[in-house]
Amino acid sequence: MSTNSPSHNTVSFIVIAALAACAALAGPAQAGNREVTVRLAVSTAGLDLRQPAGARELYGRIQIAARVVCGSGNRVGLEPVTDFGSCTEQALGDAIRSVNISQLTMVYLRMHTLQDASTRGIHVPAQVAAK
């Protein structure tokens, strides 16, 4: 089955991630910062991603998940992200690129430019890119 036409019965997950600096731990042997990846699965359950409505719903779920991984949710013991907007845009773009579903890309392009998509490495269907 093609990634561009997932079945409405398919239950899959999209994982979005954001890098964050881990707070310095107590004790000289554990001092210093390191980067960690915060991941959150986004379910596609109940969505027909071949349809615009399903893609819009998934986009909304991904946006919420991006806010969670870049915000204070799921971040116990981690320093806050220095640029919340950039973090959420990166997480959103990474998720859209990783699933490579035309309908989802179209939703992304309603709120972002072709340049944004190109910067994030998102594949844009040829008929859209030509416009």
- What would the pLDDT profile of 57-113 be if each residue is shown by its tens digit? 999 999 998 888 888 765 667 777 788 888 889 989 999 998 889 999 999 999 999
The C-alpha angle with vertex 28 and arms to 69 and 19, in degrees rounded to 5, equals 15
- pLDDT per residue as tens digits for the range 34-60: 677 778 888 888 989 889 999 999 999
Residues 17, 41: Cα–Cα separation, whole Å? 9
Angle separating helix axes 52-70 and 84-99, nearest 10 degrees: 140
Q: Which residue has the higher pLDDT, 29 or 44?
A: 44
Task: Look at residue 84 in the predicted model and tell me its pLDDT.
Answer: 87
Q: Considering Cα of 122, then 131, then 62, then 38, what sign does the dihedral take? A: positive
pLDDT band at 115 (very low <50, low <70, confident <90, very high): very high
